Structure 1
Amino acid sequence: MTTDTPARLLQLLSLLQTPREWPGGELADRLGVSRRTVRRDIDRLRELGYPVQASKGSDGGYRLVAGKAMPPLVLDDEEAVAIAVGLRAGAGHAVEGVDEASVRALAKLEQVLPTRLRHRVATLQAATTPLTSGDGASIAPETLTVMASAVAGQERLRFAYRAKDGTESRRLTEPYRLVSTGRRWYLVAYDLDRADWRTFRVDRVREPFATGARFALRELPTGSAAEYLRRSLWRSPDTPEYEYDVTFAAPAQSVSARLSPWLGRPEEEADDSCRLRGTTTDPVEWVAVRLAMAGYEFSVHAPEELVDSVRELGGRMGRAAGG
């Protein structure tokens, strides 16, 4: 529970700057206070000039909206315009170092910019042309801010998408993370129509909009969105796929806790052992290292290339791990 009123107000303001409506009960839970205290804090923010809009209902919600003037942040109009233009230019061209956190900052800033300042930002950006390297594609900043807001608010995102071969489609997704490679932006999301995880180049996205439907985050097949993107980009249609079959000398629950999730979940076997079977396009050397990192003795039944790689790795590490 936050008993320091100024600190609690700053925490409340930070939550409200996420572009979504917050139910009063959820805000109370986040802050560790009563709903009555939340209502009083909302009134204090309004007195300070923050335009907080309330909705009626059994669990009324609150949302920070654009007012007639900039809220009393530590920015004046000129500073707000300068920061918005800089973030828009960097985000739109995937400049290295301008990552998802910067896009979220842009989404928060543009959420409260008055119309007159939004017009100035758009005019300044239209009058400038940044120099980009390579074939980094240009992206409308609005596209990124809509996506970042959907990620932060855990709202389903619908958009039109053009594939590499030019095929057009409509996608309904559960956005997980935005990832920048320095030259391009990618969206890692769960594609509801295809019932699988996908990566989307943001410069091929058109007309994105958050549907308002909330969702619970699914478990990503890999440890992070960056790792999932890396594997997606490295994989090509010509990469050979192979099946692996591994037995661990430990219970399935213990192995699962240490094993990389993308390898799959082992099945319980007799005598406190478990068996892991799956399909992958990753290099056998990489799979061998991930199996060894689980920390249990194991034997590989197939394929032969993985057996050889595990034996070599076992020799280097001084551990018995073979076929």
Structure 2
Amino acid sequence: MEGVNDAEKKVREQTERILNLLIALRATAGWTDRDTLKSCIDEYAGLSDSAFDRAFSRDKSLLRTMGIEISTTSWKDAHTGANGYGYRITQDDYALPEIDLTPEEAAVLSVASRFWQDSALGIHTGRALNKLRGLGIDLHASAEDGAPEAPFDTESFSVALSAVNARRAVEFDYRKPGGPVSHRRLEPYTLLTRGDRVYLIGRDIDKDDIRTFRLARVEGRISPVRRRKDGDYEIPDDFRVSDWFRPDRASGPAHTARVRVRPGRADPVRRIGTPVGAEDGWDVLEISCEDPEELAASLLGYGAAVRPAAPPELVAAHEEMLRRTRDALAQVLDGKAVGR
């Protein structure tokens, strides 16, 4: 129980520190310097400049994962000639874009809220969900409505989510499609969902490379790595999940897909593909993938800017997903019309 209490205390302290940092950088009309942050946030007080930089970089990365950027500026002190640095969170850094959730996304939020309700952020989570309900967003879509409930109700999901939040190195047995089970050790960076699939992305400790693992292919339990402590690794400041998630990185037999992309559009797709020519005003890319259906799901968000061309199962999966999306949208619009 002592270990549990220590973990809870650490979460509360982290939450308090992040909230204090957020308040300090939002409350100022100008730039806030290092000395000011040290004076108003207890955990920063007394730190050397290098220790502050490490702690602040960690918290800045955590805020970024929450969708909040910190703007930075620098200047040269006229008296000492030393460089000074200032920080703030502008309205653009902090403001949310317009929220327009699909029924599936709303269902994911509803499920995720259950994992937060007993945490230090439980009250804030409840308030956020109430605001979304006030916008008319239904957070209780049933399984019959296509809500992806099952993948998020597994023990693997809750353990993986906890590991990501705590920056806890984990190990597990993983089976590639058609391949043997291998033991993997991972420093998890983030969880990612694609339809009803959930992926854990992070640095593979033994391969020293960022890898993607599909949770459904984890066999047995996900366990902490022995002799490792929570928070003993950093997520790189330049890590962006869109740069690293690949359906083929979830490890399996490779297929080569051909995808047409509108010129100047869908840069993330271009980064994972190899240009092989042009057809009828489209750029043509070849993309290595493990599962055509997973690749189809990742391409869906690019709308009319991307059009799968081969293999046939990729084209069929993409068309079926488009059809389901149109049907779901039609149901939402019909419901709004009835409610008027």
TM superposition score normalised by structure 1: 0.37
TM superposition score normalised by structure 2: 0.36
Report which of the two has the higher share of helix: 2
> Which has the higher Rg, Structure 1 or Structure 2?
1
